[in-house]
Amino acid sequence: MIPRLKAFFAFWYDFVVGDDWRVAVGVVIALALTYTVGTTSIPAWWILPVAVVVLLLLTLWRVVRGQSSGPPTDGQ
C-alpha cells in the first residue's frame, strides 16, 4: 500500500513540479509578490515577466553548470 501511495504522490509531484522544484517555488513567490504589490498604487504586471526571465536563466544555468563535464541527459 505504502509503495503505491509513494508512486501516486511521486507521479503528481513530477506532473506538476517537474525537474526543478525551484521554478515552482519561484513562481509561487512571484505570484505572492504580484498580489502584494497589486494592493498598492504601484503597477504589478511586470513582476511575473521579470520572474520568468530570472527563473529560466537560473534553472538553465544550473543544468549548464552540472553538465559541463558529463554527456547530455536522455530524451524522455
Q: Give the footprint of other proteins on this chain (CB under 8 A).
A: 15-20, 23-24, 27-28, 31, 34-35, 37-39, 43-45, 47-49, 52-53, 55-57, 59-60, 63-64, 67, 72-76
Running DSSP on this structure, what letter comes out for residue 13? H
Which of 51, 22, 19 minimizes the C-alpha distance to 35? 51
On the 0-12 / 13-18 / 19+ scale of CB atoms within 10 A, 33 is middle
Closer to other proteins by Cβ: residue 9 or 35: 35
Q: Taking the complex as a whole, how short is the minimal distance between the CB of residue 9 and other proteins, in angstroms?
A: 15
Q: Taking the complex as a whole, how short is the minimal distance between the CB of residue 27 and other proteins, in angstroms?
A: 5
